[in-house]
Chains A and B, each alone.
Chain A
Amino acid sequence: MSLTATGQRIILSDVHLSYGSQRVLRGLSLHVDAGEIYALLGGNGAGKSTTMSALLGFARPDSGTILVAGHDPIAQADKARDQIAYVPENVALYEHLTARENAAYLLALAGRHPAPQDIDGAFEATGLQTSAWDKRMGGFSKGMRQKVAIAIALLRAVPVLLLDEPSSGLDPRATADFNRLVHDVARRGAAVLMVTHDLLSAADIADRIGFLESGRIIDEAAAQGADRFDVRDLHRKFAREAVTA
């Protein structure tokens, strides 16, 4: 991936979204720049998954603006999705295909046809063991599956990466590997938005953290200096959010 363009790749401006009578997003506004990692932190029911659905064009907002790489995910669904790599919480790929076959197939679905050596290169970049490349994915751990998904994202060279609870269920080493990968993707110019309820993981990886409560951002923290975040302060903010939520 070689994205050098700058600017806001993800924009949500005063987004309201309801499921029937249930108002889930209530004036959500945020933006993620190219090369930036934004963690959307929130408790259960705060609206994290709905935000992800809205960005993918699966949920239609009642009002407000959503732009993904300049495209409206509802009105220009195909164009918007073409700019997004999405890694769900549980990466479920085809268990009876090998890692290499999964990558080739899913990339073909997205209209990309990389050469086999490019797939190998992406797997290498993610740190997926060589011995796993031609193994069926039935026995892969969550970390290995995430690596395959990230490899696919790398090969798609899209400007937006959406991560849904990426660190849940990962051991510390796998989390560290994954964070390194995400940083790598962001360094190549992609805007990364991850939704999570894991404060430490967010503090480890994000450039900015947005605290989501009842469908809107109630506070934001940006990484500063070598220590990046004051974790105690983050805890206080998150706890307050959790209490008020």
Chain B
Amino acid sequence: MTLLTHELRLLLRSRMALLALLLVALLAAASVAAGMAEVARQRDVIARIQPKQAQDMAAVAQWAAETKDPGTAAYYSFHATWDTPSPLAFAALGLRDVAPYILRVRALGLEAQLYDGEAFNPELALPGRFDFSFVLVYLTPLFVIALFHDLVSGEREAGRLRMLDALTGSGRSLWRRRVLLRGGLLFLALAAPLTIGAIQSAVPLPTLLSVQGLVALYLAFWIGVTLLVGRMRWSSVANAATLAGIWLVLTLILPTIAHVAINRLIPVGEGVELTLAQREAVNRAWDIPRADTMRAFYAGHPEWKDSPPLTDAFHYKWYFAFHQVGDESVAPKVAAYRNGIEARDTAARGIGWLLPSVGVQAALTRLANTDMAAQLAYQDRIRAFHEKLRNFYYRYLFTDTPFEKDDFDRAPTFVGGA
């Protein structure tokens, strides 16, 4: 029987160690299952939106085609966009629980449509999602503490340390073996459910290996912390209390302080403020000469400047033009908002180099494509699609081309991301 087998038997005979390992495995499995269920639900919603979208378009086409008015067609037709979850999203849901992953847009001003999703109930988002990243970042350190806080002090308190030290070869190699065994079993308890989930979700191997690497590094960090505290030769109780304090500071207090500090140092308005600003700009168009609006529009879109002049009658091209001018009038604010969000994100990632809990979460959400960058990328895809959509309808609106029923089939379709 090898020494490792002896150590394994010794460890597994300890009820507390066995319970801790089983609990980690159970929590990891539950979090993977919960994450996969949430991702499956989101995928299902995304899958259902497409036939519904086709039905909706068919209904709009049915009566809009009667007028052959491209404005009516553009005004009443909503076009679905969606952000397909990545294969790894189950492990770190990130912003997907608060940011919209489906948005139906029209060719009207986009800024007012983009932030409709921010009107969720914040209290519902407060507890966050129970996913693998939560188990890893917040709960796993507690199990590391449970398994490692008395690694040496426990032997000292039991009166075995002197005897163990007196046995040849039992010095460093004994502790190294015990650390590797406990760390290895913890890794296994976390990585096994994750790997099963990843295989079922068709996560690419390099991504899976990266996540497993992160798990190993995070475990190594906390094991290192427990070993450092263990070197102080305090009692097991003192070790556990100190480590619990360190856990509280590193995973809860410091990240919260950092979050507040970043928000203070990099002020960013709410997305809904952009909506209001855009709405104000749009509404002002009703009070100013329509020619002013068209002049402003043609300045930015000279390709349509040869469009027939407006008459006294209502024309949708004016309506769509002032929406676009409204969007353009808030463009500096939109850019500032985005720069602010990106700056906060960059700062948070910087903090991640100092606070492993923040860093691991940031890395996991990056790998899972569920972080702020992914959300902004989805927004970029919506903007690109919206531009195509506008240009599609502009071709009819600004040339007074009748919009036939078949023309709906020529409308651009959104290509899902991720």
Residue numbers of A with Cβ under 8 A of B are 56, 58, 78, 81-82, 84, 86, 88, 90-94, 96-97, 101, 104-106, 108-111, 113
Contacts and interface: CB of A to CB of B under 8 A. Distances in A.
A105 B10 contact: yes
A91 B6 CA distance: 20
Given A86-B162, A104-B1, A109-B174, A97 B10 contact: yes
B264 interface: no
Contacts of B163: 86, 88, 91-92, 106
B160 interface: yes
The 4 closest A-B pairs by CB, nearest first: A92-B159, A82-B168, A96-B13, A86-B166
Nearest to B165: A58
A56 B10 contact: no
Contacts of B6: 101, 104-105, 108
A82 B169 CA distance: 8
Contacts of B13: 94, 96-97
B160 A92 contact: yes
Contact of B1 (A90, A91, A106, A108): A108
A56 B168 CA distance: 11
B200 interface: no
Nearest to B3: A108
Interface of B is mostly: helix
B174 to A, nearest CB: 6
B162 A81 contact: no
Contact of A88 (B3, B159, B168, B174): B159
A4 to B, nearest CB: 22
25 contacts: A56-B165, A56-B166, A58-B162, A81-B166, A81-B167, A86-B163, A88-B159, A92-B159, A92-B160, A93-B160, A94-B10, A94-B13, A97-B9, A97-B10, A97-B13, A104-B6, A105-B10, A108-B1, A108-B2, A109-B3, A109-B164, A109-B167, A109-B169, A109-B170, A110-B169
A113 B169 CA distance: 14
A141 to B, nearest CB: 15
B48 to A, nearest CB: 55
Nearest to B158: A92
B169 A111 contact: yes
A90 B162 contact: no
Contact of B166 (A84, A101, A108): A84
B62 interface: no
B311 interface: no
B121 interface: no
A91 B164 CA distance: 11
Contacts of A56: 162, 165-166
A139 to B, nearest CB: 15
Nearest to A89: B159
Nearest to A85: B166
Contact of A78 (B2, B160, B168): B168
B170 A88 contact: no
A71 to B, nearest CB: 11
Given A86-B166, A108-B3, A110-B169, A96 B14 contact: yes
Given A92-B159, A94-B10, A97-B13, 8 more contacts: A78-B168, A78-B169, A96-B13, A96-B14, A104-B1, A109-B164, A109-B169, A109-B170
The range of chain B's interface size is 20 to 34
B218 to A, nearest CB: 30
A93 B158 CA distance: 8
Contacts of B10: 94, 96-97, 105
A14 to B, nearest CB: 24
Given A97-B9, A106-B167, A88 B1 contact: no
A110 B162 contact: no
A108 B162 CA distance: 17
A82 B2 CA distance: 19
Interface in B21-43: none
Interface in B161-191: 162-170, 174
Contact of B170 (A91, A93, A101, A110): A110
B28 to A, nearest CB: 26
Nearest to A77: B171
Nearest to A78: B168
A78 B166 CA distance: 9
B167 A110 contact: yes
Interface string B337-359: 00000000000000000000000
Given A110-B170, A111-B169, A88 B9 contact: no
A108 B173 CA distance: 12
Contacts of B164: 109
Contacts of A78: 168-169
A227 B372 CA distance: 89
A105 B14 CA distance: 15
Report which residue of A91, A104, A106 has the largest number of chain B beta carbons within 10 angstroms of its beta carbon.
Answer: A106
Contacts of A82: 168
A114 to B, nearest CB: 11
Most buried by B among A92, A93, A111: A92
A90 B157 CA distance: 12
A154 B11 CA distance: 27
Contacts of B14: 96
Contacts of B174: 109
Nearest to A113: B1
Contacts of A81: 166-168
Contacts of A111: 168-169
A96 B168 CA distance: 23
B207 to A, nearest CB: 41
Contacts of B168: 78, 81-82, 110-111
Q: Which of A81, A104, A113 has the most CB of B within 10 A?
A: A81
A56 B159 CA distance: 16
Nearest to A52: B162
Contacts of A92: 158-160, 163
A51 to B, nearest CB: 14
